[in-house]
Each structure stands twice: as C-alpha cells, then as structure tokens.
Amino acid sequence: MTILVTGGAGFIGANFVLDWLEHCDEPVINLDKLTYAGNLHNLDSLQGDVRYIFVQGDIGDRALVDKLLAAHQPRAIINFAAESHVDRSIHGPEDFIQTNVVGTFRLLEAARHYWQAQADASKNIFRFLHVSTDEVYGTLAHDAPAFTEDHKIEPNSPYSASKAASDHLVRAWHHTYGLPVLTTNCSNNYGPLHFPEKLIPLIIVNALAGKNLPVYGDGMQIRDWLYVRDHCSAIRRVLDTGRLGETYNIGGWNEKPNIEIVQTVCRLLDQLRPRTDGQGYETQITYVKDRPGHDRRYAIDARKIERELGWKPAETFDTGIRKTVQWYLDHPEWVAQVQSGAYRDWVAKQYEDKSGTA
C-alpha cells in the first residue's frame, strides 16, 4: 500500500514524511508545489530511498492529481499543502484562497472520483485526512475554556478564514458524498525544519545573527505549543483509528505568552551558545507594532483524541524547545540555505512596516 502526502516539503509535512518512514515501510508519494515554504533539502536524508517519491505540482492541478492517484493507488491522502503564514495572508490573501480553498476543493474532487471508482475492499480502507488548525476557532478570552471540537468556527485572519473554508468543504464532501474524511485541528507547532518566518525559528536565527527579536504588541498573546513530531504521531493515530467524518483537536497543553517563549529561547541560547560580549540575548528583544486583528489567545482541549484514540504528546515544552534550539545550532547550513534572497525580501517588507515601538 501507499499514501499520498501533499505539502510534504514544508515544515510539518517533511517531519511527517520522515517520521512515517521511521515507523513503517509503506511508501510515500509527496506532492508539493515548492512554494517559498517548500524545501527539498528537508528530505535530503531520503535520497535513494525506494519508499519515497517526490512529485512537484499543485494540489489544484486536477489532471496531475488524477494521474497520480491512478498510477499509485494510494490508500490515503494526507493534506498538509497550504499557505500557512498569518502575516503573509494579511499582505496578500489571494494565494491563501487559491491553495487553501480552491486547491482543497480540487483535491477533494479528485479524491472523490478516485474513491468512488474503487472496488469495495479498497473503498472501505480509503481515508482523506485534512490537516487543519486551531485558528479556525478564532480567539479566546483570558479565562475562557480551551477550544473543544464543538467550539464555534470564528476565523479572524485571511489565513484562518481560508482554512475554515477548507474544513467546511471536507465536512461537506463526507456528508454529501460519503467520502471517508478525517479532520485534525492542531495548535502551534515548533521543532526542526521550521521556516524562520514563524516566531520560534525567527527568534533563534535573529538572536544568533545579532539582530532585533521582534515581539508584536505587548507580547502577551497566548499560543499553545506542540512539538512537531507529536503532531505527526497524532496524525498517524487519527489515520489508523479515527472515526470517519470526525474532527480531532490536537494540542500539547502548553499555553504560553509570546514574551515567555522569546525569553525561554534567549535563556537556552545563553547556555548553549553564549554571546561573546558576555551580555544576554534578551537585550535584543524589541517590541514592535502589533499584527492587525491579532488573536489574543489559542488553547486546545485535547481530551477527545486522548479519550477516544489514546493519544498523548511525548514531549514537554522544556524537552521540545531544548531539542529545537539545539537543532538550529547544529544546522547552520540549513538556516543559511533557507535565508535566500526571497526570504530577505519578506523580512524587509514585514519588519520595516513595524519599525518603531508597539
């Protein structure tokens, strides 16, 4: 048997492909468009591995997806492919609608036609697993209970609105056509291979380069952090034993204000790679203008996946963040390679806008 992973050259998708092939020998087809966020070096360790096939292409390219499904007959599609960065969605929402909404729609249609044409045995085992986010639930008040799967869908950014739209399409394809779908809504991931436009890797690479560590607004926005390999193990679990048509929230019970995340990274770097001038990295922290529409707090109630499927994260935040910082220190060539001209253009555009104070 084979699985088709989309977006497998990005942060979570690449960790998933690596994690999958560490756990089993079932081949993986990786369909990825290779946008700025897709990086084939993330999968360098699989060169020559007969269990892995890479195909460059768009999930919205129906002819290509039809051809891949017919040729490889996968028993599951796991859809990671997306535009994923909230700040970019504010600067330019169009790509988010194209990939996250139209792309998911076309992928669902390809999956539906493929699945409907299968013989009963293959039809029964087929799964379409859609990887989504806690951001579809909107923002939480400080003392509100964490998001359950029944929470209202109230997305606030172009990114989260596009993901919410894709979740609705997936739900409807199950309800109307019976397509065997599963949806996961996960909190903020961190870990190796995280592109340094996102908070944790940006802080690590900026700190080491002697640059400012930009904290939006008052730095008291709360995110719920999960080590990326725990997200991968949760997806494997949902794929194996999740109930069809269900949504599973995935989280690490690790709510932390952004400023605490930044301070933790600084303190780890102080231990592992102290500055040569004897000062702490915290002196580089700079408060900058806030993100428009910035959600104040996300928190995932992960009891359903624990109760029904027996999944729990393996890492604590302390163990996961230490591993992560160490990974960046050990991979300066990866960091240099992703900080291409295009990356520098983005950083200039995003942070020039924010110069000055909160």
The reply on whether position 328 binds ligand DAU by CB under 6 A is no
Cα–Cα–Cα angle for 24, 4, 87, rounded to 5 degrees: 110
Instruction: Select 135 or 287, whichever has its Cβ closest to ligand NAD.
Output: 135
Interface residue with ligand DAU, options 68, 108, 215, 232 (CB under 6 A):
215
159 is catalytic: yes
In the bound state, the residue with its beta carbon closest to ligand NAD is 10
First to last CA, the chain: 53
Rounded Cα gap, residues 57 and 46, in angstroms: 19
Rounded Cα gap, residues 188 and 199, in angstroms: 10
CB 88 within 8 A of CB 343: no
351 is catalytic: no
Helices (H) and strands (E) in the chain, counts: 14, 12
**In the block, which residue shows the tokens 């605490």?**
260
Site string for ligand DAU, 244-283 (x = CB under 6 A): --------------x-------------------------
Q: Which long-range contacts (CB under 8 A, 24 or more apart) does 268-277 make?
A: 268/321, 268/322, 268/325, 269/204, 269/207, 269/208, 269/325, 272/325, 272/326, 272/329, 273/208, 273/329
CB 182 within 8 A of CB 130: yes
Token representation of residue 331: 């991979």
Summarize as ranges the residues that interact with ligand NAD (CB under 6 A).
6-7, 9-13, 31-35, 37-38, 58-60, 80-84, 99, 103, 131, 133, 163, 186, 188-189, 195
Q: Which one is catalytic: 137, 159, 190, 248?
A: 159
Q: Which one is catalytic: 135, 167, 295, 301?
A: 135
135 is catalytic: yes
Task: Pick what 164 binds: ligand DAU, ligand NAD, none; C-beta below 5 to 8 Å, kind-dependent.
Answer: none
Residues in 293-322 that interact with ligand DAU by CB under 6 A: 298
Stretch that binds ligand DAU, among 23-31, 44-52, 165-173, 208-216 (CB under 6 A): 208-216
Query: Which residues in this chain contact ligand DAU in the complex, by CB under 6 A?
Result: 84-86, 133-135, 187-188, 198-199, 202, 214-216, 221, 223, 258, 291, 298
**Catalytic (active-site) positions:** 134-135, 159
